[in-house]
Structure 1
Amino acid sequence: MDTLNNIVLEIQHYLSDYILIVALGFGGIWFSFRTGFIQVRGFKEGMRRTFGGLFSKKGDAGKDGMSSFQALATAIAAQVGTGNIAGAATAIAIGGPGAIFWMWVAAFLGMATIYCEAIMAQKYKKIGKDGVVTGGPVYYIRAAFQGVFGKVLAAIFAVLLIFALGFMGNAVQSNSIAASFHTAFGIPQWITGIVIAVICLFIFTGGMKRIAKVTELIVPLMAALYIAGSLIIIIYNWKNIPTAFYEIFVGAFAPEAIAGGAIGATISKAITKGVARGLFSNEAGMGSTPHAHAVAKVDHPVQQGYVAMIGVFIDTFIVLTMTALVIVTTRALPESYNAVSGGYTGAELSQFAYSLVYGKFGEIFIAICMFFFASSTIVGWYFFGEANIKYLFGAKAVPIYSVLVCVCVILGSLAKVDLVWNMADCFNSMMVVPNIIALFALSGMIKKTHDDYFKNFLPKHPELQKKKKK
């Protein structure tokens, strides 16, 4: 087991620190130029579509898909997970506050990548034999590569996603909830695991309609709760806000210049940890969230592309940044920064930072947020895995898949198994490869679909242009 774990860690090291940073970084730059920096030009329209969907009457999800906002909520449910609490803390602990700057860079580029993923998922979505709309990278991979190669590449992606998210990933999420509840309330982890599994099975058996209802209710609530709780701490430490931004921006390029000295941080660590954690937090380029965006009921693929971009913005520039600012403004940094921390990393560092203001309630607050974040991620990842189960085995295999996911949730809550956690990360990384290859291959179709919206669709729908001007 130790040997296998070391092999997995070595593979993951080369994937996350080198291959994926280059592939996703270059991809973000390429798609930014290809779409005329749509993340800038289309930001206002994306916000209008997103929050217009939040406050307008929401359509019911059914076999014909979800409303645009429900699809976004399902995507954000998957994006905003334990990585927003533990990922930011780990990046800061290893790469210093400057890692946050590189997380922002990764998110900015990722907004263009996820825009392209969403419009391709919309363009190549399918209606299954059961009449249910489905979609995702497996379908646009097949469109990008005809013949045996396309079938094999799509199948590899589907298997990787099912194991990375549906099984191992959800076990990891369950463990995070169970561990935080045990710390905060003393509840045995197996009890938490069973409760989560029962709740999830109830949601799973309701199909797309119930999943959409749950995510559109939970996501705004959990985001508001976390942002409010974080802002209280940041405002409480308002005198440290200028210092925090100084450390983030200066630390991005010269970690050694930060007051106190960043003994363990270098610009290399700041970039690699910031970009890597940022990419895995917002999931742009991984091929996960396109499953949600594919089933949105929109008139043109670009309309959901706008919304998909805002998902990355919310995940990184708002939620993850809250965690980062709490850690930096409370001075809860690792010992190498001459701060008050006892050398915590990951979720423990986040819990420590919140407890500096909230005391014991800090642990309770993180436990509650972890429940919302991780449980919504379980629902989102289940939905993504379900689409690939249908692709490989048909709709009849879905009930079996539902039960297996719940078993993984229970087993995951019992103990943290390093091999399972590391394999989940490794499979996540491997998912990127077939997905990004297909996106590059479809670059011409992405450009064509993007241009069609502005040159053909909008002129035929002048009412949309009026809304954009408003």
Structure 2
Amino acid sequence: MHLFLDLINGYLYTYFLVFALIIVGVIYTINTRFAQFRLMGNVLTLLKEKQDNKDHVSSFEALMISTASRVGIGNIAGISTAVVVGGAGALFWMWVMAFIGGASAFAESTLAQIYKSKDENGFRGGPAYFIEKGLGNKFFGKLFSVILIITYAYGFNGLQSHTMTSAFEIYFPDNFGNASIIIGIILSVVAFALFFSNSKSLGKVSSIIVPIMAFVYILLSIIAMAMHYDLIPSVFKMIFNSAFDFQAIFGGFAGSVIVIGIKRGLFSNEAGMGSAPNAAAAANTSHPVKQGIIQSFSVFIDLIICSCSGFLVLFSQSYINQLSTGETKLNALPMVQQSMMEYYGTWGLHFITFAVILFAVTSLIGNFYYADANVKNLTKNNLNELVFKISAVAMVFIGSQLDLKVAWDLADITMAAMASINIIAILLLSPILIKCLKDYDEQKKRGLDPVFSAKKLGIKNAECWD
């Protein structure tokens, strides 16, 4: 099963998705005149905007929900795996994907704001909504919802739970089986409390945990690099040599540093994948472009944290030893744990375990939030939503107990399916996006605080804006 799914993944990412994501990112970068860079100066002002309705999710809280999903175990274990398996150059191709992907993130989140819906709990939306309202295609809108629910509520949350539980294996080497059951139960109780709370509560939890953990993790990574400042030239040389080793790249493209870097980069920053727009749509703002800018900024937050994980590994003696011997004894989370022990001793091990726990919990929040918004797109029945929430909690426990190698493969496939549908949708809706961006730019030039009117721009099915 693993070999079969891996073969499908190879074709999906090698012959379609890698090129599709790059092409869409470049098209939107050009068409928006590098919006992911030129509008970034407005981010801090936008994040400080006052919220008119305290019951709605603020722009900052929406940013933290999407960042909670982006910044997870994939930023630690996933990046470590990419560097160990693909080579140091995988980090470079993640950077490339983030810079290009910022434009895709801007486009999909702006469109999610334009076509969002409102219910008693606030705003909701995402690709399923703008596919149905903007393109008038209910079938693909519903299909996207189903794929996203499978990917996030069951695939990614199972993976988050599994990886978080495995972080404790080093503490219980002789009795990990029993310990994993207890950890799985505790995590399931936490998930139950979070999943059955409202969106405002989820935003509050994320807005507190994510900034603190991200700041501390980045700080410790910078200190670790400073402790080995003499290695900085050789590490960057290694990154660029590996990134442009064309003989190795084209000799086995499906498993090359480019594909591994882009694949892990996509799993981490999610730009163009159609996930973050589900959080972006929840924000209460005066113009869709404002949330597009903020969500584009989230990609760069993710980029910084991914880079920190990559550098923690690349500057460690454990990685250098493995490189010289050619033996892969440590990978994924154990490699990061060993690296942190080198820098900070036992305290470093405890910190990375604690970071994994909090990143996993916040990722559970973000992933569930995305899935729940799409469940509401599929059904208005409260009983169906209750069954979904219970099954999502159950998956957290199941994930903590299983070897999810096949689940990683399935998650990669469903992620590719999501991205494919989303890419086509945002390309078809590019005239709407450009019209919205021009409106924002023109109002800014006149010194106004941009306010959006769908009716004024002739945009239909955007009922939340008029």
Tell me the TM-score normalized by structure 1.
0.88
Give the match for residue 334 of structure 2.
348
Give the match for residue 291 of structure 2.
304
Paired with 2:394 and 2:293, the residues of 1 have a C-alpha distance of: 36
Residues 332, 182 of structure 1: alpha-carbon distance in 2 compared, 3 angstrom cutoff: closer
1:34-113 mapped onto 2 (5 Å cutoff): 34-50=31-47, 52=48, 62=55, 65-113=56-104
Give the match for residue 218 of structure 2.
227
For structure 2, which runs of at least 5 residues remain unmatched after alignment? 452-466
Paired with 1:336 and 1:206, the residues of 2 have a C-alpha distance of: 45
Give the match for residue 467 of structure 1.
none
Residues 139, 58 of structure 1: alpha-carbon distance in 2 compared, 3 angstrom cutoff: closer
Is the 1:184–1:367 Cα contact (8 Å) retained in structure 2?
Answer: no
Paired with 2:158 and 2:98, the residues of 1 have a C-alpha distance of: 26
Give the match for residue 353 of structure 2.
367
Is the 1:60–1:209 Cα contact (8 Å) retained in structure 2?
Answer: no
**2:133 counterpart (136, 143, 146):** 143
Paired with 1:49 and 1:131, the residues of 2 have a C-alpha distance of: 23
Is the 1:85–1:323 Cα contact (8 Å) retained in structure 2?
Answer: yes
**2:395 counterpart (408, 431, 437):** 408
Is the 2:152–2:368 Cα contact (8 Å) retained in structure 1?
Answer: yes
Residues 417, 326 of structure 1: alpha-carbon distance in 2 compared, 3 angstrom cutoff: closer
Report how far residue 98 of structure 1 moved: 1.4
Residues 35, 83 of structure 1: alpha-carbon distance in 2 compared, 3 angstrom cutoff: same
Which amino acid in 1 is paired with 2:397?
I
Residues 352, 255 of structure 1: alpha-carbon distance in 2 compared, 3 angstrom cutoff: farther
Which amino acid in 1 is paired with 2:331?
T
Q: What SS does the aligned partner of 1:344 have?
A: coil
Is the 1:24–1:285 Cα contact (8 Å) retained in structure 2?
Answer: yes
Paired with 1:92 and 1:113, the residues of 2 have a C-alpha distance of: 25
1:427-466 mapped onto 2 (5 Å cutoff): 427-456=414-443, 459=446, 461=448
Is the 2:87–2:257 Cα contact (8 Å) retained in structure 1?
Answer: yes
Is the 1:121–1:137 Cα contact (8 Å) retained in structure 2?
Answer: yes
**1:240 counterpart (231, 239, 264):** 231
Deviates more, 1:36-45 or 1:374-383: 36-45
Paired with 1:68 and 1:251, the residues of 2 have a C-alpha distance of: 39
Residues 131, 221 of structure 1: alpha-carbon distance in 2 compared, 3 angstrom cutoff: closer
Deviations 1:158-210 (A, max 9, x none): 11110110112111111111110232466711111111111121122221111
Residues 291, 365 of structure 1: alpha-carbon distance in 2 compared, 3 angstrom cutoff: same
Q: What SS does the aligned partner of 2:308 have?
A: helix
Report how far residue 444 of structure 1 moved: 0.8
1:176-215 mapped onto 2 (5 Å cutoff): 176-184=163-171, 188-215=179-206
Residues 339, 333 of structure 1: alpha-carbon distance in 2 compared, 3 angstrom cutoff: farther
Deviates more, 1:184-193 or 1:318-327: 184-193
1:166-177 mapped onto 2 (5 Å cutoff): 166-177=153-164
Which amino acid in 1 is paired with 2:118?
I
Q: What SS does the aligned partner of 2:101 have?
A: helix
Which amino acid in 2 is paired with 1:361?
W
Report how far residue 216 of structure 1 moved: 0.4
Could you say what the CA RMSD is over the residues aligned between the two structures, in angstroms?
2.6
Paired with 1:157 and 1:97, the residues of 2 have a C-alpha distance of: 34
1:194-343 mapped onto 2 (5 Å cutoff): 194-254=185-245, 269-316=256-303, 318-333=304-319, 337-338=323-324, 342-343=328-329
Paired with 2:450 and 2:103, the residues of 1 have a C-alpha distance of: 26
Paired with 1:285 and 1:183, the residues of 2 have a C-alpha distance of: 36
Report how far residue 77 of structure 1 moved: 0.2
Report how far residue 135 of structure 1 moved: 0.5
Deviations 1:358-396 (A, max 9, x none): 333343222111111111111101010001101101251
Residues 265, 330 of structure 1: alpha-carbon distance in 2 compared, 3 angstrom cutoff: farther
Residues 458, 389 of structure 1: alpha-carbon distance in 2 compared, 3 angstrom cutoff: farther
Paired with 1:350 and 1:61, the residues of 2 have a C-alpha distance of: 40
Which amino acid in 1 is paired with 2:404?
V
Residues 395, 114 of structure 1: alpha-carbon distance in 2 compared, 3 angstrom cutoff: farther
Deviates more, 1:333-342 or 1:379-388: 333-342
**2:410 counterpart (409, 416, 423):** 423
Q: What SS does the aligned partner of 1:133 have?
A: strand
Is the 1:144–1:441 Cα contact (8 Å) retained in structure 2?
Answer: no
Paired with 2:256 and 2:130, the residues of 1 have a C-alpha distance of: 35
- How many residues were matched structurally? 445
Is the 2:444–2:450 Cα contact (8 Å) retained in structure 1?
Answer: no
Deviates more, 1:178-187 or 1:13-22: 178-187
Report how far residue 434 of structure 1 moved: 0.9
Residues 121, 233 of structure 1: alpha-carbon distance in 2 compared, 3 angstrom cutoff: same
Residues 86, 17 of structure 1: alpha-carbon distance in 2 compared, 3 angstrom cutoff: farther
Paired with 2:313 and 2:254, the residues of 1 have a C-alpha distance of: 20
Is the 2:11–2:254 Cα contact (8 Å) retained in structure 1?
Answer: no
Is the 1:134–1:295 Cα contact (8 Å) retained in structure 2?
Answer: yes
1:112-151 mapped onto 2 (5 Å cutoff): 112-128=103-119, 130=120, 132-146=122-136, 150-151=137-138
Report how far residue 305 of structure 1 moved: 1.0
Residues 58, 230 of structure 1: alpha-carbon distance in 2 compared, 3 angstrom cutoff: farther
Which amino acid in 1 is paired with 2:238?
E
Residues 157, 341 of structure 1: alpha-carbon distance in 2 compared, 3 angstrom cutoff: same
1:363-402 mapped onto 2 (5 Å cutoff): 363-394=349-380, 396=382, 397-402=384-389
- 1:154 partnered with 2:141: yes
Deviates more, 1:335-344 or 1:298-307: 335-344
Give the match for residue 9 of structure 1.
6
Tell me the TM-score normalized by structure 2.
0.89
